[in-house]
Structure 1
């Protein structure tokens, strides 16, 4: 299972699963869609700006941590081939597709394709490939988490790492992948207890206080993990301190989110197995919606439409017809798909 991109077992699941992780992945990818849809309105409302920053503080880090948690079999035979199929293949394919989509949608004069500069969220696929390979190195060195955080801070000194090959984001977010890899099932036990929510509320207040005090635009640039300290306008020393603080905020954000994830199977639990479809395909809708007049000239009141669109897009892209039509492209699988519901065998066993 490739973490939140563990899609090869999503149709013919035979082993019992912990619904907690599937619930978490589905909620997180739903929040990703919501964040992308509402990003335009962030500057029109201070509270919305702060809340979107808070969501960004744990949304991708939590997904990445879960992906690392399910990457413990990286040493097994066939792992590299599996990673290539799950990450590099769809990355190249959808970079081409989205480049052409941009060319048509935005009426560009020329068709532009650059596999070296990921389009929108495609950086995640490229970084996922790198994170899995980096396990071969970091799991063999002492104090690997310390080095991972140091690299995540140090990459902020390199201006050229902002876009090319998603280098900056790869190093900035890798510590969460490595933390997930080192985590054991028992580590998640406390978040499932009632006192976990008390800790969650405390950390939420702490994070909210930080977001209310600091400049939202600066926070956003750090949360994206894409920009160098120089681009943000900070010195190397101040930027290092700020990124360390952001790491603390991200970890607190993850801890404040997890206790609220449902522990039992929900109506959306099986859809947590299909988050890669939502993540990769929702950019078609994001790009199109942003060209519409009501969106381009909208006020903050249009935000009431965003939750509805978020639900429609997320559930729609999690549907079995979409899986049937796009599985070959996203999973690099070309055999006939068994469309049995993924939790059928679990329910029957129960």
Structure 2
């Protein structure tokens, strides 16, 4: 995120920001020499998603709220869910983490090109289906939207702990019922991590106040004086 933010001025001035970011991601997926320093593979391969978000506008979300889009999103989402469960045991899940090149995953270089473009396209479609059904009115889970960063960052500690304590070695987890229970538990856990109480506890680390580290903008100070 830090590296992406540093590059924001560049994306604001280039002519085709999303295709350029996607090209960089594709090149990273076929470049095993990048290595693991600074987790650059993830930085580069996830870059298109940041650039897309950078240029999203309210009217884009309004397009997704049209009735025909909402109706179409239901079968699309259902198909995506079915394909995900079918593909789960049949493909290498490491593709989703974008931390390795195709060659490092034991695949030919062209697979990196195909998988990067395919995953990017599928992600946009499924995300659009999700936003199509986000309610306009305030509901009990509205506050959770402000805490998605907390769920994203904090769940990793529990995921690592589950491997350290060998939770997945339990035989019942390998059964269909175990997989359903694990899915429900994961959904519940990520919901809890996004709640306001969790946000208040970890805000000092996730969203620290940094006014002390930066000078105030001279223009802003002048405007405040003019108003006074």
The reply to whether residue 245 of structure 1 matches residue 118 of structure 2 is yes
**Compared with structure 1, are the counterparts of its residues 209 and 267 closer, same or farther at alpha carbon in structure 2 (3 Å cutoff)?**
closer
- Match of residue 216 from structure 1: 90
CA distance in 2, matches of 1:236, 1:333: 44
Q: Contact conserved, 2:64 with 2:132, CA < 8 A, in 1?
A: yes
- Match of residue 32 from structure 1: none
CA distance in 2, matches of 1:227, 1:293: 25
Deviations 1:283-313 (A, max 9, x none): 3333334455664213332234335533553
CA RMSD for the aligned pairs?
3.0
After TM superposition, the score normalised by the length of structure 2 is 0.75
**Compared with structure 1, are the counterparts of its residues 289 and 197 closer, same or farther at alpha carbon in structure 2 (3 Å cutoff)?**
same
**Compared with structure 1, are the counterparts of its residues 202 and 318 closer, same or farther at alpha carbon in structure 2 (3 Å cutoff)?**
closer
Aligned length: 207
Unaligned runs of 5+ in 2: 212-228
Instruction: Give the Å deviation of 1:319.
Output: 4.5
**Compared with structure 1, are the counterparts of its residues 245 and 209 closer, same or farther at alpha carbon in structure 2 (3 Å cutoff)?**
farther
Which structure would you say has the larger RCO, counting Cα contacts within 8 Å and 6 or more residues apart?
1
Deviations 1:250-309 (A, max 9, x none): 222222222122222111211221222222223333333445566421333223433553
CA distance in 2, matches of 1:178, 1:261: 22
Unaligned runs of 5+ in 1: 1-127, 336-350
Q: Contact conserved, 1:151 with 1:171, CA < 8 A, in 2?
A: yes
Q: Which of residues 165, 178, 182 in structure 2 aligns to 1:306?
A: 182
**Compared with structure 1, are the counterparts of its residues 191 and 232 closer, same or farther at alpha carbon in structure 2 (3 Å cutoff)?**
same
After TM superposition, the score normalised by the length of structure 1 is 0.51
CA distance in 1, matches of 2:118, 2:205: 39
In structure 1, the residue corresponding to 2:38 is in which secondary structure? helix
**Compared with structure 1, are the counterparts of its residues 154 and 209 closer, same or farther at alpha carbon in structure 2 (3 Å cutoff)?**
farther
Deviations 1:225-257 (A, max 9, x none): 122011223322343233222222222222222
- Match of residue 138 from structure 1: 11
CA distance in 2, matches of 1:229, 1:326: 36
Deviations 1:2-36 (A, max 9, x none): xxxxxxxxxxxxxxxxxxxxxxxxxxxxxxxxxxx
- Match of residue 118 from structure 1: none
- Match of residue 263 from structure 1: 136
**Larger gyration radius, structure 1 or structure 2:** 2
The reply to whether residue 153 of structure 1 matches residue 29 of structure 2 is no
After alignment, is 145-154 or 235-244 more displaced?
235-244
CA distance in 2, matches of 1:274, 1:257: 17
Instruction: Give the Å deviation of 1:176.
Output: 1.7
- Match of residue 224 from structure 2: none
CA distance in 1, matches of 2:163, 2:8: 38
CA distance in 2, matches of 1:166, 1:260: 34
